[in-house]
Amino acid sequence: MSSIDKSLSGHDIIQELGKRFAQYRKRMKMTQKQVAEQSGLSVFTISGFENGSQTGISLASYIRLLRALDLVELMDQALPELTESPREAYYKSLKKHSENNKYNN
Tens digits of residue pLDDT in 22-56: 999 999 999 999 999 999 999 999 999 999 998 89
Print burial letters for 1-11: b (CB count within 10 Å at least 16), e (below 16). eeeeeeeeeee
Q: What is the pLDDT of residue 19?
A: 96
Mean pLDDT of 80-102: 80
In CATH, the number for domain 10-80 is 1.10.260.40
Distance, CA of 101 to CA of 64 (rounded, Å): 52
Residue 105 has pLDDT above 60, yes or no: no
Kindly tell me the sign of the dihedral angle through the C-alpha atoms of 41, 42, 48, 50: positive
Residue 15 — pLDDT band, cuts 50, 70, 90?
very high
pTM (2 d.p.):
0.74
Q: What is the pLDDT of residue 102?
A: 65
Q: What is the pLDDT of residue 39?
A: 97
